[in-house]
Structure 1
Amino acid sequence: MKTINIKDEFVTLGQFLKLADIISSGGQAKWFLQEYEVYVNDEFEDRRGRKLYVGDEIDIPGTGQFEIAAGE
């Protein structure tokens, strides 16, 4: 499982995809979420505005598993 560090209280799912180098620009988030399954804390999620907090786990089958952590 890869750890993605965030500076703020939360990041959106769209921002997370860019931070994790899964997409190259924020504009690709909508397309990515239509084409791929994404699970946040074992629940299917397709909203790019979904807020992710420290401790949340994201699973993208075929891409990887990630955890949100507090960082600098």
Structure 2
Amino acid sequence: MTQPDPQPVPIRDESIRLGQLLKLAGVVQDGAMARMVVENGEVTVDGETVMRRGVQIRPGQVVEYAGQRLLVTSD
């Protein structure tokens, strides 16, 4: 089974914090939920589990959470 194409998420700056990206893409409701899912090891960046919501994400990286794939793009 092939994975669906990631949903593009454009950002204005050269990077964005992981927690902010999850909120921007609408996959979490708020910062508290973003912190919880990241600290629980439910989020991957480029296939690797990330446990810090403050990690900087740059265009070209793919973030996965709850079956959703997000491709960070520059605005």
Corresponding position of 1:40 = 45
Within the candidate set 50, 66, 71, 2:70 is matched to: 66
Q: Which amino acid aligns with 1:28?
A: M
Q: Which amino acid aligns with 2:42?
A: E
Tell me if the contact between 2:40 and 2:51 (Cα under 8 Å) persists in the aligned partners.
no
TM score, norm. by length of structure 1: 0.85
Tell me if the contact between 2:37 and 2:43 (Cα under 8 Å) persists in the aligned partners.
no
| Shift in Å, 1:36 | 5.3
CA deviation map 1:12-70 (0-9, x unaligned): 0000010010122223221122345111011110100010001011122x331110001
How many residues matched?
Answer: 70
What is the Cα-based RMSD across aligned positions, in Å?
1.4
Structure 1 Cα separation of the partners of residues 23 and 73 of structure 2: 16
Tell me if the contact between 2:60 and 2:73 (Cα under 8 Å) persists in the aligned partners.
yes
Q: Which amino acid aligns with 1:66?
A: L
Corresponding position of 2:27 = 22
Aligned residue for 2:21, secondary structure, equals helix
TM score, norm. by length of structure 2: 0.82
